[in-house]
Amino acid sequence: MILVGGLAALLQAFVSLSATAKVLIAVSSAAALISLCFYAAGAQDPDENSPDSLSGWNLLAIVPFFDTRFDFLNAAFQHSGQSIFKFKLLQNTVIAVSGAEGRKDFLTSRGLDINEGFKLLSGAIPMLPGVTSDLQARRIATIHKRLSMAQTSEHLSRLLPKILDDGERLMGLWGNSGTIDIFDCIPRMFFQTSVRCLSATEIADDDDAVARLKQLYDTLDTATTPASVLFPWFPSPSMISKLVATVKIYKIVNGVVQKRTQSGVVEDDTLQILVDNADDKMVMIGFIMGLLVAGARSTGTTASWLTIFLAGHPEWRMKAREEAESLLLTHSCYSPGDSVKSALASIPLEIWENETPIFDSLIRETLRLAQPHTAMRRNMGPDAYIGGKRVPSGSYVVYPFSDVHLDSELYPDPWTFNPARPENKTPHSWIGWGGGTTVCMGQRLARLSLKLITALMLLELDFDLVDRRTGQPPLVLPQPNWNDALTCKPDNEDTRHMRYRRRQCMAKS
């Protein structure tokens, strides 16, 4: 609380400064930036075991690392002629790796830290030291343990009907027919389910609070610029926006945590797990603030593209619907006229997890084709070797998922959506949920949410992809834009719309 108060006071103090004072701060800060640039540009590593440096480095050449990362890394690998190279982000050394050997070393090296890597290279995470960043190992271990507890079979079974309730309610707001922007409505739905599953009932039941949180997390995304990442101490407009959004997220979450712990009210939610284990309040706040990022971005992106692929590929939409209908007939108490939502909720968790091969293949292919991650790590020591090259302690290492997921040798015609692809047995040939020493700890919940909401849509709606301008199916199906490192949105906004109507044969009671 003292920290947040200090941040707010600092923000208020800067805003209240005179224009002259702000200019002086900006000038002095700019001078410091220039000094850092010259310092970084002049640093050379004579070690022959070190990766080759990206030639022609300057600050403007590195901006594409943040704005068009996919193109930047592809061009740099091609230009260097190597599967590993390095470049400078000011005083920080960043090493980019590719290829089977580099991928294996990257994924299995225990000295590479994901939290430290994202802190510098991502910037789109709400950073509060001691709350969501700069955490002691004990607090990180506690958060991981609580996330595991939130994904036990018992807890997920109780969450299952709540996820469907939220999905049904939000789909109801669309009306019986119409057209939606997939990248607007679908992420909103999955952010709601993430709030439901990873935070508190008080927030999840408050539509205004959920909408406000979604807006604030979106602000963190839009305010993440190369300047705000590289110079987080510089009072730029983007940095101020990120600081304001972070403080507001903190206040919302802190208010709920404080009220719950003081009132003694007991709820059947994830916050209650933390309360029952007498966790530190900062752990509770950090748990919610940090993990909601997945709902705001990764799961929402996957769900959006899964919807686009189903809407644009009628044959797979039909296969998925048939699998969902089969679940109703064989594993639920469904009968014509019953609520689809209630029938889906009656299907046991183990069925959802183990007897949905079509859904599993759809999710797997979606994660391969439309998850534009670049894995980011920092070597916390000692020096390591990746692809035969030395990675010094303290340096950063990045590995683009496109290196494996768009590899035509592993995935022929890699840009084509084809869930029927045989599963490649090459080690680390698919890393949709991570790989090696670092895998997504929330994947069980994410996979379940994707299946539940998608099944609900398939059973309650007829839908297809439509071009907003013409009202007809697009001539060319949307293709994921890997330069959009957060959502992979297609370049043509007109083709990301879904036309739908409610299915009469699945009328609700």
- As a three-state string, the secondary structure of 70-120 is HHHHHHHHHHHCCCEEEEEECCEEEEEECHHHHHHHHHHCCCEEHHHHHHH
- Sorted by where each begins, the domain ranges of the chain are 137-506
User: Tokens at residue 370, please?
Assistant: 């439309």
User: What CATH number is given for 137-506 in this structure?
Assistant: 1.10.630.10
Convert the pLDDT of each residue in 89-124 to its tens digit.
878 899 999 999 999 999 999 899 988 887 766 655
| 491 Cβ contact list (under 8 Å, min separation 6) | 479, 481
Q: What is the DSSP letter of 415?
A: T
Residue 192 contacts residue 385 (beta carbons within 8 Å): no
**413: left (phi > 0), else alpha (psi -120 to 50), else beta?**
left
Helices 443-460 + 314-331 axis angle, to 10: 100
CA separation for the pair 439, 441 (Å, rounded): 6
Tokens 């739905």: give the residue: 189
The angle formed by the CA atoms of residues 396, 104 and 229, to the nearest 5 degrees, is 20
DSSP SS3 for 398 = strand
Burial class (CB in 10 A: 0-12, 13-18, 19+), 333: exposed
Buried b (16+ CB within 10 A) or exposed e, 419-457: bebeeeeeeebbbbbbbbebebbbbbbbbbbbbbbbbbb
| Beta-sheet strands, E only, within 323-388 | 374-379, 384-386
Residue 397 contacts residue 388 (beta carbons within 8 Å): no
CA separation for the pair 484, 493 (Å, rounded): 13
| β-bridge mates for residue 96, sequence order | 85, 398
Low-confidence ranges of the chain (pLDDT < 70): 1-47, 56-61, 120-136, 295, 505-509
User: Of 235, 271, 54, which Cα lies nearest the Cα of 155?
Assistant: 271
Distance in Å from the first CA to the final CA of the chain:
48
Q: Pairing state of beta strands 92-97 and 84-89? A: antiparallel
pLDDT at 59: 62
**316: left (phi > 0), else alpha (psi -120 to 50), else beta?**
alpha
Question: Distances in Å between the alpha carbon of 5 and those of 68, 131, 278, 297, 429?
Answer: 36, 14, 24, 28, 47
Amino acid at the residue 278: A
Residue 419 contacts residue 360 (beta carbons within 8 Å): no
| β-bridge mates for residue 87, sequence order | 94
The angle formed by the CA atoms of residues 407, 412 and 413, to the nearest 5 degrees, is 95
pLDDT at 61: 62
pLDDT at 57: 55
Q: What is the pTM of this model?
A: 0.89
pLDDT at 507: 41
User: Tokens at residue 112, please?
Assistant: 């590479």
**243: left (phi > 0), else alpha (psi -120 to 50), else beta?**
alpha
Burial class (CB in 10 A: 0-12, 13-18, 19+), 414: middle
User: Tokens at residue 217, please?
Assistant: 């997390």
DSSP SS3 for 502 = strand
Buried b (16+ CB within 10 A) or exposed e, 1-20: eeebeebbeebeeeeeeeee
pLDDT at 47: 67
CA separation for the pair 286, 271 (Å, rounded): 11
Question: Distances in Å between the alpha carbon of 481 and those of 63, 68, 402, 486?
Answer: 18, 10, 11, 10
